[in-house]
Chains A and B, each alone.
Chain A
Amino acid sequence: MNNTSKSQRTMDIVQGGLAKRYQKEKRFKLYGLSAIFFSLLCLSLLFISIFSNGYTAFQQTFIEMEIAIDPEFIDKGNFAGSDYQGIIKASLRKEFPDVTGRKAKKRLYHLVSSGASYQLQDFVRDNFDKIGQTIRLWVPADDDVDMFIKGHIGRKGPEEDRRLKDDQISWIDSLVEQGRIKKKFNTTFFTAGDSREPELAGIWGAATGSFFTLLVTLALSFPIGVAAAVYLEEFAPTNRWTDLIEVNINNLAAVPSIVFGLLGLAVFLNFAGLPRSAPLVGGFVLTLMTLPTIIIASRASLKSVPPSIREAALGVGASKTQMVTHHVLPLAMPGMLTGTIIGMAQALGETAPLLMIGMVAFIVDIPGGFTDPSTVLPVQIYLWADSPERAFLERTSAAIMVLLVFLISMNAVAVILRKKFERRW
């Protein structure tokens, strides 16, 4: 009798508190779910803001101009140095003949990009026979006109606060009516190097620089990293020294990247005298940075190969080296590859150490080799983010989109490889 009443009391107590506990359970689960949604929200906010700022950069406004190639402007002895800007200016004046006054004329000339003269120069170089004739050419518009057509700059507000004045807007309107202003796909963005004019700026120079730098990094860090991991994991005797080395390498992986930049500055530039801003030096610095990542990932994958495989190899008479190279290494290779790909992806996105070694200059030419001065894509983004022109804002976002596409695809390849070759021992 007594027992049942006691146990009933316990059951009552338990039952009484059950609802509360279930509530707590629900809340806890909710916290977890909301944490994940918060992270995903931030991620999507990031992507949406960058995408919305950047997708307009893939189109560039062009103006169709009627250009009379006046032979007086062409210096027969020096085609490259002739006054093509003068030809463009004359054509603009002919288009809008009632524009007078120095300031108004300047605003007229500003409708068209300064790159138009280079385009004309190339055209004349390829078509000598057209000198003296009138041609129609689609030339890039100035970045203010580009922003206006894309809707980033408005026509409202007091005139002195606006980038485009009333007369410029009226000219643009008349050109739009004639169908001579069009937005076309912005190939310049993908083929040109850096420039002061946003409508002429592109990421090709930075992309080539990134390519060379990553090539040097991959060529150096993968063999050295794998070899070091194999030695440390398989051959090195276990004593205090190797313990120290393990601690060291783990630390290197956590050292801020800027300290590697300092190292690169002190050793490669000052001591060894290598050229500044070269992909070679950038590659060396990034190798030192990715080496710990690759070593740690390789060691983890070597460790994951079960001892039974090793002992089976030794049992049939293989030497230690044969066991490692024939049996362990191929099985551990997928893990090493994924570690390398992740390390390369990290190196591609690095900016801080490269700032220290001088890759932060204005470099227009596309680099042709490993010792030509160049910049890399993240540094280019950093430089453009500081520019005042409105048009650079959308180009920075577009460059970020390109970089993100590369990185996400690299990470995706690593994940797919990992899934494909993952073996459950």
Chain B
Amino acid sequence: MKKALLTVLALVFVMTTGNLWADSSRDYISIVGSSTVYPFATVVAEKFGKSTQYKTPKIESTGSGGGHKLFGAGVGVQHPDITNSSRRIKKSEFEKASQNGIEIVEVKIGYDGIVVANSKKGAALKLTRKDLYLALAAQVPNPDGSETLVANPYKTWKDVNASLPNTKIEVLGPPPTSGTRDAFVELAMEGGAKKFGFIKAMKKADKKKYKSVCHTVREDGAYIEAGENDNLIVQKLEANSKALGIFGFSFLDQNTDKIQGSFIDGVQPTFDAIADGSYPVSRPLFFYVKKAHVDKIPGMKGFLKEFTSEKAWGDEGYLTDKGLIPMPAAERKEFQAAVANLKPMTASDF
């Protein structure tokens, strides 16, 4: 009896270790990148896996910045094939990737608005981009009117704008790895800072200083970095009705029973307002593909075709059900062609 048990154990040991030597190769697509694009990419990936014989792609949510870093590290099996991004690739990222021998194909998948939302238990706020800049920047113009910059002294929304309620400024937003953060500081905060003449003039005089004034977010506790996980921000807003959260429109759309978006410059964040461009804080969503991997990793061509098909990203597609705002038909055709031809990006695209 004991001997039998021992032999069985030995066999199990052998079978498990025997398989360890199998020379493994990657036969699934590896995707990293934005947490905003993650819900869309996962839906397409699942559909792709279920309707073809290829394996379902593996998708990690690392943030747009983190995704570009991993993506741009080089060509090869150990590097990801596709990176999702909630903002356009920056010139520095493109240059680094090109240095590592990567040819990138850019694909825009649609538009998304950035909303500043709070729980439905409180009242909806009517903010302007100037308010957002004054509330969240590290350095703001001196309240006494002289054209100098001081560290942000405002503690409540009322301090920033007398028509706003007297509640503490508490905003939950993404960290610098997030494309949403990059887009927010560029569209909302820079848009608000430009309203001050002397800051606008800085753009021509000292571009670096201009950027640091517009884009640096305060670190004294009013802006709380809440991680890559946008779902977590929604949960925290539910628990704390005085706080505001910054994330993509798709998350607002999926949770309209719990949260509401603030008006920005008088426009409410709705599907139509973002689609026709009247909502000022909207940005396109992308994914970037390594041209060298397309023929080598099984399933990539099919996945790209599924993602860029009308039934996915079209006006009636399943991605719009998830909150993606589709591109106009002409743009969709343009990117379908880019994917079919695998046209790589060049430095002149910037």
A and B, direct touch (CB closer than 8 Å): yes
Q: Please report A residues at the B interface, Cβ cutoff 8 Å.
A: 80-81, 83, 85, 102, 106, 110, 114, 118, 121, 160-163, 195-196, 215-216, 219, 273, 275, 277, 280, 358, 360-365, 369-371, 373, 386-389
Select B257's contact among A163, A219, A275, A365, beta carbons within 8 Å: A163
Given B56, B232, B254, which contacts A386 in the complex, CB threshold below 8 Å?
B232
Most buried by A among B24, B59, B61, B254: B24
Taking CB atoms, residues of chain B closer than 8 Å to A162 are 257
Chain B residue contacts of A215, Cβ below 8 A: 16
Total of A-B residue pairs, C-beta within 8 Å: 79
B50 near A: Cβ within 8 Å? yes
Please name all residues of chain A whose beta carbon is closer than 8 Å to the beta carbon of B255 when the two chains form the complex.
388
Complex interface: chain B residues within 8 A of A360 (CB): 60
B42 x A388 contact (CB < 8 A): no
Question: Chain B residues with Cβ under 8 A from A371's Cβ?
Answer: 22, 24
Q: Which of B22, B50, B61, B251 contacts A388 (CB 8 A)?
A: B251
B contacts with A, residue count (CB < 8 A): 43
| Residue contact A362 to B45, C-beta cutoff 8 Å | yes
Q: Give the Cβ gap from A394 to chain B, nearest Cβ, in Å.
A: 16
B232 touches A364 (CB 8 A): no
Given contacts A216-B16, A365-B49, contact A106 B321 (CB under 8 A): yes
Contact between chains at A370 and B16 (CB < 8 Å):
yes
Query: Are A361 and B59 in contact (CB-based, < 8 A)?
Result: yes
Q: Contact check: which of B45, B229, B231 meets A364 at CB < 8 Å?
A: B45
- The one of B22, B257, B311 in contact with A161, judged by C-beta atoms closer than 8 angstroms, is B257
Contact A196 B229, CB 8 Å, known A360-B60, A371-B24? no
CA distance A370 to B311 in the complex (A): 36
Chain A residues within 8 Å of B53, by CB: 80
A364 touches B254 (CB 8 A): no
- CB nearest to B232 among chain A residues: A386
Complex: chain B residue closest to A84, CB-CB: B51
Q: How far is the CA of A364 from the CA of B28 in the complex (A)?
A: 11
B52 at the interface (CB under 8 A from A): yes
Decide if B318 is an interface residue (CB 8 Å cutoff): yes
Residue of A nearest to B62 (CB): A361
Q: What separation, in Å, do the CA atoms of A362 and B57 have in the docked complex?
A: 8
- Pairwise interchain contact A361-B257, C-beta atoms closer than 8 A: no
Q: Is the interface of A mostly helix, strand, loop or mixed?
A: loop
A280 to B19, CA, bound (A): 11
A106 contact set on B, CB distance < 8 A? 321
Contact A370 B58 (CB under 8 A): no
Q: In the complex, what distance in Å separates the CA atom of A79 from the CA atom of B45?
A: 19
* B60 and A364 contact, CB distance less than 8 A: no
Q: Tell me which residues from 218 to 256 in chain B have a Cβ below 8 Å from any Cβ of chain A.
A: 229, 231-232, 234-235, 251, 254-256
Indicate if the CB atoms of B318 and A388 lie closer than 8 Å. Answer: no
A373 and B58 contacting across the interface, CB-CB below 8 Å:
yes
Looking across the interface, which residue of chain B has its beta carbon closest to that of A222? B9
CB-defined contacts of B321 to chain A, threshold 8 Å: 106, 110
Please indicate the chain A residues that have their CB under 8 angstroms from the CB of B24 in the complex.
275, 371
CB pair B13–A364 under 8 Å, yes or no, is: no
Q: Is B16 a contact partner of A219 (Cβ separation < 8 A)?
A: yes
Q: Which A-B residue pairs are the 9 nearest by beta carbons?
A: A364-B56, A361-B60, A371-B24, A362-B59, A388-B231, A196-B42, A365-B56, A361-B58, A161-B257
Kindly list chain B residues whose C-beta atoms are within 8 Å of the C-beta of A163. 257
Q: 1/0 per residue B14-57: CB within 8 Å of A?
A: 00110110101010100000000011001101100111110110
Which B residues from 296 to 339 make CB contacts under 8 A with A? Answer: 311, 316, 318, 321
B126 at the interface (CB under 8 A from A): no
- Contact (A195, B46) CB under 8 Å given A121-B51, A358-B60, A361-B58: yes
Q: How far is the CA of A118 from the CA of B17 in the complex (A)?
A: 37
Which of B51-81 touch A at CB < 8 Å? 51-53, 55-56, 58-61, 78
Docked-complex contact B256 and A362, CB < 8 angstroms: no
Q: How far apart are the CA atoms of A83 and B314 in the complex, in Å? A: 15
Nearest chain A residue, comparing its CB with the CB of B17: A219
A358 to B78, CA, bound (A): 13
In the complex where A362-B42, A388-B254 touch, is A369 in contact with B22 (Cβ < 8 A)?
Answer: yes
Contacts of A102 in B (CB 8 A): 316
Cβ of B120 within 8 Å of any chain A Cβ, yes or no, is yes
A362 to chain B, nearest CB (A): 4
Complex Cα–Cα for A250 and B172 (A): 42
Residues of chain A lying within 8 A (CB to CB) of residue B49: 364-365
Is there contact, CB below 8 Å, between A80 and B42? no
CB-based contact B52/A219 at 8 Å: no
Question: Which residues on B sit within 8 Å (CB–CB) of A386?
Answer: 229, 231-232
